[in-house]
Amino acid sequence: MRQPVYSRGHLGHFVLNVWRHHELLRHLMIRDIKAQYKQSMLGYAWILLNPICQLAIMSFVFTTALRPSSQGDVPFSLFLAVGLLPWIFFANATTSATMSITSGPNLIKSVYFPREMLVIASVLVRLVDLAAGLLIVGALMVAHGQPVLWTVVWMPLLVAIHVMFVVGLSLPLAALNLFFRDVRFLVATAIALWFFLTPIFYSLSAVPERYRLIYDLNPNARLIQAYRWALFEGVSPPIESVLWAFALSGASLVLGYYVFKRMEPYFADFV
Amino acid sequence: MPTSSEAVGFENVSKRFRLRDGKTLKETLPSFVSRNSIFYALEDLSFEVGWGETLGIIGRNGSGKSTILKLIAGVMTPTRGRVRANGRIAPLIELGACFHPDLTGLENVYLNASILGMSDREAREQLESIIDFAELAQFMDTPVKRYSSGMSLRLAFSVAIHSQPDILLIDEAMAVGDKEFQEKCLERMRDFQRQGAAIVVVTHALELVRDYCDRAMLLEHGHKAAEGAPAEVIDRYVSIAAG
């Protein structure tokens, strides 16, 4: 390792660092995945079992107990899956990334490497879960005889925007959590609230017009809506909606990285 | 070796800490007001380490020795002054801190190497030598949590010295393993000295400073109390400690 040149946190530097340290990033991801499943008997099967269980419970509650309004041609379990699985990615990634700096105090105190790698790695690891989730969606679509439409090609771009948003949001949270351990409790509460303000088990069209602004400014809502357009409607998501999600995510990354890099030199003093 | 004339340079370096960790609001607010919660680990310290030179830093617990290493490693930044380190650094600080207990020895070697800035290719090329030096060939598929503390220190030490460093930072790390292994470590330190690497050693083992360092520095409460030939600085330390 070399002595760090503490950067002022411009986006160009972010991209350069990720490129330079992509091997480290991969090793950190492997560490997180292996460490998470190594002790369990079913091992990696949990990557699929976890979302299946959650989906099954939610589907049961909403189709049998609560009986929702119809969602057009799409079966409710499928409609729900495309909302819930990206949400689980968002919630888990943000939660674990917030704690990614504080969970390895010895590492922070002994060796320098760009600390954002810890945050990025813990977000990217959750992509494995999202990929597993989308596999389940694919299986459900086949089971329900839902045609797979060409607009599925939008998915990688939408997921990339989602990753950008989570990384941008998590960077300052992870840094702040080092100085104030209250942050992770606040994050948990905020995520619980955010769940209901995102159209996961209901459709955006069911929301009265005057509350729409909350949803327009919510990248999770924009993206989940876009996932549904791409997978079920067979039309490209409205371009201004994708651009908005991109702009909000980009802004969160630029701002989040700047704040993170400003705090980075003091990590070892406080950890 | 890199071309700059000195390997490590400290220019009027001060490092300040907050003593009380304001973790709650009740604790945080007063600490901004009162000044006695502030503590200088180092104050206005200047020194240099040249290529091929080994500097031994001695002093009592809490005199700021380890802070110097953390500043060179770049994990801490000085409150005032400048710290320079011109080359690839291998910090033998808190050895094994980068290991994950659930991963195997081999997995940890790759992880640790990459944290130290080695590419995967470098790590692959060095792998055999790393394992040989650590003497752990038959334990590479064992999770590190099953290792004894000596074994995991040996492995961490071995990875660090294989990262082809220009600057070696050693914090009591020579107390690794048994007598035989320690001798091997000291021999390797001699190799680094011959190759022109700069070494900074922080230790309470005065004989290590006497036998292996070119120069010694005595720290007291974050100030330089003496600097010069190891034998003289050690005498000074011993006489201060005696009374």
CB pairs under 8 A between A and B: 96
Cβ neighbour number for residue B231 with a 10 Å cutoff: 12
Q: For chain A, which residues make up each domain, given as ranges?
A: 11-270
Task: State how far the Cα of A160 lies from the Cα of A246, in Å rounded to an integer.
Answer: 9
pLDDT reading at B31 higher than 70: no
Task: Enter the tokens of residue B37.
Answer: 């919660």
Q: How confident is the model at residue B242 (pLDDT cuts 50, 70, 90)?
A: confident
Residues 45-104 of A with CB under 8 A from B: none
Asked if A116 contacts A257 with a C-beta cutoff of 8 angstroms, the reply is: yes
- Residue B80: predicted pLDDT: 94
Contact B93 A110 (CB under 8 A): yes
Query: Of A111, A24, A106, A20, which is closest to residue B114 (Cα–Cα)?
Result: A24
Q: Looking at B116-200, list the stretches that DSSP marks H as alpha helix, in order from N- to C-terminal side.
A: 120-134, 149-161, 179-194
pLDDT reading at A42 higher than 60: yes
**B-chain residues near A108 (CB < 8 A):** 75
- Residue B69: predicted pLDDT: 94
**B-chain residues near A181 (CB < 8 A):** 23
**A-chain residues near B83 (CB < 8 A):** 3
Asked if A112 contacts A267 with a C-beta cutoff of 8 angstroms, the reply is: no
Contact B91 A30 (CB under 8 A): no
Residue from A5, A21, A112 to probe the interface with B (highest B Cβ count within 10 Å): A112
Which pLDDT tens digit goes with each residue over B100-128?
999 999 999 999 999 999 999 999 999 99
pLDDT reading at B41 higher than 60: yes
Contact B117 A2 (CB under 8 A): yes
**A-chain residues near B107 (CB < 8 A):** 30-31, 34
- Residue A166: predicted pLDDT: 97
Contact A1 B70 (CB under 8 A): no
Q: What percent of chain A has pLDDT over 70?
A: 96
Contact A6 B83 (CB under 8 A): no
Minimal Cβ distance to B76: which of A39, A111, A268: A268
pLDDT reading at A16 higher than 70: yes
**A-chain residues near B77 (CB < 8 A):** 6, 265-266
Asked if B69 contacts B32 with a C-beta cutoff of 8 angstroms, the reply is: no
Task: State how far the Cα of B182 lies from the Cα of A255, in Å rounded to an integer.
Answer: 49
Q: Which residue of B has its CA nearest to A113?
A: B115
- Residue B3: predicted pLDDT: 60
Q: How far is CA B215 from the centre of its chain?
A: 16
Asked if B115 contacts B100 with a C-beta cutoff of 8 angstroms, the reply is: no
Question: Does the beta carbon of A8 lie under 8 angstroms from any beta carbon of chain B?
Answer: no
Superfamily of domain B6-242: P-loop containing nucleotide triphosphate hydrolases (3.40.50.300)
Q: For chain B, which residues make up each domain, given as ranges?
A: 6-242
**End-to-end CA, chain B:** 43
